[in-house]
Amino acid sequence: MPELPTPVGHPARLPLLQQRPFRMLSFSRFSSRLAQNALNFALVLLIVDETGKALLSSLLVLALVVPATVAGIVAGTAADVLPKRLLVVLGDLLRAGICILFIQGSGSVATYYIVAVALATVSQFATSAEGAILPAVVDRADLARANAIGHAVGGGAQLAGLGILTPVALRLLDSSDILFAISAGLFVLAAGQAVFIGSTRGAPRLEVGGRAGGAWWLTGWRAMRADTAVMHAAIELTMLSTALIILGGLIPKFIEDVLGLPVDVGALILTPAAVGVVLGLRVASFLAHRIPHSLLSSVGFGTFVGLLGLLSFVNQESDFLSGYGVFSWLGSIQLGSFDGGGLLAMILMLPLGFSYALVSVAGQTVMNDRVALHLQGRVGSTQAAMAALTSSIPVVAAGWLSDAVGVQPVMALVALLIGVAAVAAIREPRWLAPAPARAGEVH
């Protein structure tokens, strides 16, 4: 494919973070994701404190995900046809308003679910617009690195939200109102930073095939079907997202029942994954255009599935390994409820985050690289809707099963099923073939 011209306003070869549009987009993303991750984790903790049931925490995860199915498609279309920066600003300000309404509310279990749905719905419009802005303000040659930086920003925001902001507000200060007030301020800050992104009108591009006909809500699906590589990437991202959504409902019970720790303290054990993500992003951004996408994603998926299976039984593995001289130190670790199993979980989280980054950057770069600029929002939201639909029943079933038989076998089953799905996707089923061209269209 021919090299695209440098977008207007971006000096040639200027490092990404010295380009104001990308820098301000990254700042805005960090502020809003810090608040959103802190709130999501806080809502899970509040539900766990009130009920103690994995099923109900899984339902909360579902409440955070389901809006991607309906609102996501609308948001993706809006991101392609309306001013993107305006959508980001309005989305951030509306989320700040939701936080203020929560502070004035009753704080009941029902309120937690309502707030989760409201935040998730509004977030779709902001995040879809952010995703559509990226290829409009970044050179095509820099997309892999831009995606890597974007994932690093998200990982840093997640680490700060889950590991610092939420525990300090809910446990040290013992106030959900303080957390929601801080989050409201962060959303307002993100809106202000988004204003300084500047123009999001990218360089002229030749859109192959023109504008697709048919139902507007199927535009993203048709664009993916028209390019097998894009569809493969979307399926890989969907499987990865599905696994993470299901795990989001199981992790609180895993921390309490397997690691024997309070959820907010145990979440810190999972933070080495953020370090792994950062390392993986640097490697993936370098390799994305140098080795075949299928090889990069296959290695990442295989590693992710294997490590997830090992994470499911860390206590048994720690007991087994401590019987051998070189690993005997695992049996002597005892710091309150933290033992060898907890340490082994921390060790496994680093390569788990690394493998996640390989798959995520590889898939996202293919989609940004091959999808027409005016379809970026709709394709991204369609992929998110695929993940929401795919995970909606499994996330509830996994929560119910973990309450019935325990969280360890359920996590192992999730790893097995994701592995089987990844192998099946490699074989390229017939339905994945490009959709036949309509009369008068070129694909």
What is the model's pLDDT at position 99?
Answer: 95
What is the model's pLDDT at position 208?
Answer: 40
SS3 readout for 68-101: HHHHHHHHHHHHHHCCHHHHHHHHHHHHHHHHHH
Cβ 303 vs Cβ 293: under 8 Å: no
Nearest Cα neighbor of 229 from 364, 135, 366 is 366
Give tens-digit pLDDT for 370-404: 877 777 777 877 777 788 778 778 888 888 888 88
Q: Specify the range with the lowest mean pLDDT, choosing from 46-55, 71-80, 425-434.
A: 425-434
- The pTM assigned to this predicted structure is 0.69
Residue 101 has pLDDT above 90, yes or no: yes
DSSP designation for 261: S
Nearest Cα neighbor of 36 from 94, 83, 109, 78 is 94
Which one has a higher pLDDT value, 205 or 159? 159
Q: Specify the range with the lowest mean pLDDT, choosing from 211-225, 309-323, 339-353, 393-407.
A: 211-225
17-196+215-432 fold: Growth Hormone; Chain: A; (1.20.1250)
Give the whole-number percent of the chain exceeding pLDDT 70.
85
CA-only gyration radius of the chain, Å: 22
Chain-centroid distance, C-alpha 418 = 17
Give the whole-number percent of the chain exceeding pLDDT 90.
13
SS3 readout for 93-127: HHHHHHHHHHHHCCCCHHHHHHHHHHHHHHHHHHH
Nearest Cα neighbor of 414 from 227, 219, 181, 245 is 245
| φ, ψ at 14 (rounded to 5°) | -70, 130
Cβ 345 vs Cβ 259: under 8 Å: yes
Cβ 198 vs Cβ 20: under 8 Å: yes
- Contacts (Cβ under 8 Å, ≥6 apart) of 366: 229, 230, 232, 233, 293
Confidence of residue 432 (pLDDT cuts 50, 70, 90): low
Q: Specify the range with the lowest mean pLDDT, choosing from 45-54, 64-73, 84-93.
A: 64-73
Q: How far apart are CA 218 and CA 228, in angstroms?
A: 17
Please state, rounded to an integer, the average pLDDT across all residues of the chain: 79
Neighbours of 442 (CB within 10 A): 8
Residue 213 has pLDDT above 60, yes or no: no
What is the per-residue DSSP string for 380-404?
HHHHHHHHHHHHHHHHHHHHHHHHH
Residue 242 has pLDDT above 80, yes or no: yes
| φ, ψ at 108 (rounded to 5°) | -85, 170
- Token pair 């699906």 in the structure block, residue: 221
Mean pLDDT of 69-98: 85
What is the model's pLDDT at position 276?
Answer: 84
Residue 206 has pLDDT above 50, yes or no: no
Give tens-digit pLDDT for 137-191: 787 777 777 777 777 788 778 778 877 888 888 877 888 899 999 999 999 999 9
Burial degree of 302 (CB within 10 A; 0-12, 13-18, 19+): middle
Cβ 72 vs Cβ 128: under 8 Å: yes
What ranges do the domains of the chain cover? 17-196+215-432
Neighbours of 435 (CB within 10 A): 16
Which one has a higher pLDDT value, 2 or 384? 384
Cβ 179 vs Cβ 170: under 8 Å: yes
374-389 as b/e: b if 16+ CB within 10 A: bbbbbbbbbbbbbbbe
What is the model's pLDDT at position 80?
Answer: 77
Neighbours of 291 (CB within 10 A): 12
What number of residues does the chain have?
443
